[in-house]
Structure 1
Amino acid sequence: MNQYYKDMEGINILNLKKIGLVAVTGFAAVTLAACGKDGANSDIVTMKGDTIRVSDLYKEAKEYPSTGTATLLQNMTFNKIFEKEFGKKVSDKAVNAEFDAQKTSLGSNFAAALQQAGYTESSYKTSIRSQLLLKEVVTSKIKFTDAEYKAAFEAYHPTVEAYVLSETSEDAAKKLVEDAKNDAAAFDKTAQDKKSEMKFDSSNTQIPDEVKTAAFKLKDGEASTEPIKVSNPQTGAASFYVVKMIKNADKGTDWKKYKKELKTIITTNKQNDATFVNGIIASYLKDYNVKVKPKEFSNIFSSYEAAVTSSSSSKSK
């Protein structure tokens, strides 16, 4: 999957692993040889109303030294197209707000995380702008039909209020379960001291799915009868959660009451749907008549076209 698309998934960019990249170092000889005697002025990518030349690629490589040539060309192409289509909808204020949120989230680790990911503050803001641009692109293509809303409503649970405590050992979590069973007031005091009171719905991404599933089954005042085990997908390390429901919620049958929340869920799901996003990108590549001149880079957009072809084949079957 392309780095540009991965940066758009709503995941912290700094934690992303760059995938399928070609080393930047040493690309000059290949590119210049492919482009002929004109060297830095030679076209690499042409499109309706714009061009990417060798000199443009050199400049971009200096800004993103750890990113591969193919990915740089993809990103440059998409940014040129999407800036023309949606640039006015993404303000500097929105970019800075997202940047500040990420900086606050990482705290003192922010500078080190930037360096590790190969970003400067300036280039990171550029990447954030790319994220917001693609979000605008994807959102513009979503059809918010009643069927879409109803499907999202089936899996939706409205906002609840609960104590959510986590422990690194199962024994410690079992003790919390016993405390909740034997002395509710003491458990509540412990939960309050740990500032574990939370409000969340089923779309919350900060709370593990296992915890949400267990929590939504609890009635007001009920607590977990056993620890909820959650494994970290990256490290495999286990955490053990105990939940006590303060106020659950019955969503009823009228999905229109939650139209705003459901719209956000539909949008997020579509943004994370690689086939949907790739299909949109492929349509813009076609509309802008994007052509790659050097044969060494002739396949850099093939993954988007392949995803669309694959989707079409599946539907026909």
Structure 2
Amino acid sequence: MKKNKIAVALVGMVCAMTLAACSPSGNEELVTMKGDKITVGEFFQEIKKDQNVQQSLQNTIIFRVAENAYGKDIDKKDIEAKLDEVKAQFGDTFEEQLKSAGFTEASYKDSVIKPQLAFDKMLDAHVDVKDKDLESVWADFHPEVDARLISVKDKETAEKALEEINVGTDFETVAREKSEHASSKDKGAIKFNSASQELPEDVKEAAFKLKNDEMSEIITSKQMDQMGQPVESFYIVKMVKNQEKGTDMSAFKDELTKIAADAQKADQEFIPAVIGKELTKANVKVTDDELKNVLSAFVEKPKEDKKEADSKDKDKKDDADKDEKTTETKEADKEESK
């Protein structure tokens, strides 16, 4: 699934680059044949009708606007850090995916990572965290803890792991050998707070109740897989260092602010609203009539278009009223003739 995600992302960028390279008025010959030819302009006229191409154009516009406005704030260290993160996520398949999509590491950083970081900064610029937001987060907040984790997909393996620990095998050793979580390479070492998405809520809640050096029993968690089917996973947690939040909210202001900001950005209405504001600020205009609705999900129609649409609606209503009156007149004539 990871391979598919990066492939889709990379191919999408390639499509966008292809569309951007074309021009509706381009007379350059793209294909020649006996007695005929296909120009760049003709090719553009065909591909621009495709929904995937229109989606790629939409993405290209949005990311270009973000990069123009916020790209100057991106540090090279941020780009390298993101690249390292992606490499770690996809492991040995990363180079293969880059090559198959026609990217080098340098072009991937310029064409994918930098625009994405600029987009993230664009969202951050519109986040507005207020005191009431911090108080809302504080109500259910638990500070970050250090723990060890064993995560497996079947109960039998979890029971064997717990048995080995109970008879004297180090938790770290069992985690390294049996856990299916990414933390297994670090002997199960993991850090998380109440807002972390890495673990299910019921696992975090059980972990927060543990004292230092205390180990949980097997925690069974039911989640939905990508097909919407319920699946069970089994966890064992050993607490290394727990902490209480106390009563001083200001001591955790940075963490609370980040959680509140992430919650705002996760709102389904937030991103479209931000994109709409930035497109308007950048005065983006799509000049091709067949592509003029490519940004309609984010920006309102121009006033001229609205007037035209309102006029058409009025004409339709007038026509409907006329038809209704005509029908009523005919019915009345029938009654009189009787």
Q: Same fold (TM over 0.5)?
A: yes
Residue 269, structure 1, aligned to residue 258, structure 2: no
- Looking at structure 1, the residues matched to 108 and 264 of structure 2 have their Cα atoms a distance apart, in angstroms, of 24
Highest Rg: 1 or 2? Answer: 2
Q: Is the CA contact 1:211–1:241 (under 8 Å) kept in the aligned structure 2? A: yes
Seen in structure 2, the aligned counterparts of structure 1 residues 259 and 275 have a Cα distance that, compared at 3 Å, is same
Q: Is the CA contact 2:150–2:175 (under 8 Å) kept in the aligned structure 1? A: no
- State the shift of 1:231 in Å: 4.6
2:199 is paired with a residue whose SS is coil
Residue matched to 1:299: 293
- Looking at structure 1, the residues matched to 76 and 287 of structure 2 have their Cα atoms a distance apart, in angstroms, of 34
Alignment of 1:73-222 (within 5 A): 73-115=57-99, 120-125=104-109, 126-178=111-163, 182-183=166-167, 185-186=168-169, 188=171, 190-191=173-174, 195-222=187-214
- State the shift of 1:253 in Å: 2.3
Residue matched to 2:276: 282
Pairing partner for 2:250 from 247, 253, 256: 256
Residue 241, structure 1, aligned to residue 235, structure 2: yes
Letter of the structure 2 residue corresponding to residue 79 of structure 1: F
Seen in structure 2, the aligned counterparts of structure 1 residues 94 and 279 have a Cα distance that, compared at 3 Å, is same
Seen in structure 2, the aligned counterparts of structure 1 residues 39 and 85 have a Cα distance that, compared at 3 Å, is same
Seen in structure 2, the aligned counterparts of structure 1 residues 223 and 209 have a Cα distance that, compared at 3 Å, is same
- State the shift of 1:12 in Å: 9.9
- State the shift of 1:90 in Å: 1.0
- Looking at structure 2, the residues matched to 39 and 279 of structure 1 have their Cα atoms a distance apart, in angstroms, of 35
- State the shift of 1:17 in Å: 5.0
Q: Is the CA contact 1:166–1:242 (under 8 Å) kept in the aligned structure 2? A: yes
Provide, for residues 79-100 of structure 1, a one-character-per-residue CA deviation record: whole Å limited to 9, x for no partner. Answer: 3322332121012332122112
Residue 225, structure 1, aligned to residue 225, structure 2: no
Q: Is the CA contact 2:3–2:90 (under 8 Å) kept in the aligned structure 1? A: no
Provide, for residues 249-280 of structure 1, a one-character-per-residue CA deviation record: whole Å limited to 9, x for no partner. Answer: 21122221111112222232233333111101
1:86 is paired with a residue whose SS is helix
Q: Which runs of 5+ in 2 are unaligned?
A: 29-39, 178-186, 301-338
Q: Is the CA contact 1:135–1:271 (under 8 Å) kept in the aligned structure 2? A: no
Letter of the structure 1 residue corresponding to residue 237 of structure 2: V
Q: TM-score, structure 2 length as denominator?
A: 0.65
Q: Is the CA contact 1:174–1:227 (under 8 Å) kept in the aligned structure 2? A: no
- State the shift of 1:148 in Å: 1.5
Q: Is the CA contact 2:3–2:93 (under 8 Å) kept in the aligned structure 1? A: no
Letter of the structure 2 residue corresponding to residue 299 of structure 1: N
Q: Is the CA contact 1:191–1:197 (under 8 Å) kept in the aligned structure 2? A: no
- State the shift of 1:70 in Å: 1.5
- Looking at structure 2, the residues matched to 118 and 301 of structure 1 have their Cα atoms a distance apart, in angstroms, of 28
Q: Is the CA contact 1:14–1:114 (under 8 Å) kept in the aligned structure 2? A: no
Seen in structure 2, the aligned counterparts of structure 1 residues 275 and 231 have a Cα distance that, compared at 3 Å, is same
Residue matched to 2:36: none
Letter of the structure 1 residue corresponding to residue 261 of structure 2: T
- Looking at structure 1, the residues matched to 209 and 146 of structure 2 have their Cα atoms a distance apart, in angstroms, of 13
- Looking at structure 2, the residues matched to 76 and 122 of structure 1 have their Cα atoms a distance apart, in angstroms, of 19
- State the shift of 1:240 in Å: 1.8
May I ask how many residue pairs the two structures share in their alignment? 265
- Looking at structure 2, the residues matched to 122 and 72 of structure 1 have their Cα atoms a distance apart, in angstroms, of 21
Residue 70, structure 1, aligned to residue 64, structure 2: no
Q: Is the CA contact 2:127–2:261 (under 8 Å) kept in the aligned structure 1? A: yes
Q: TM-score, structure 1 length as denominator?
A: 0.68
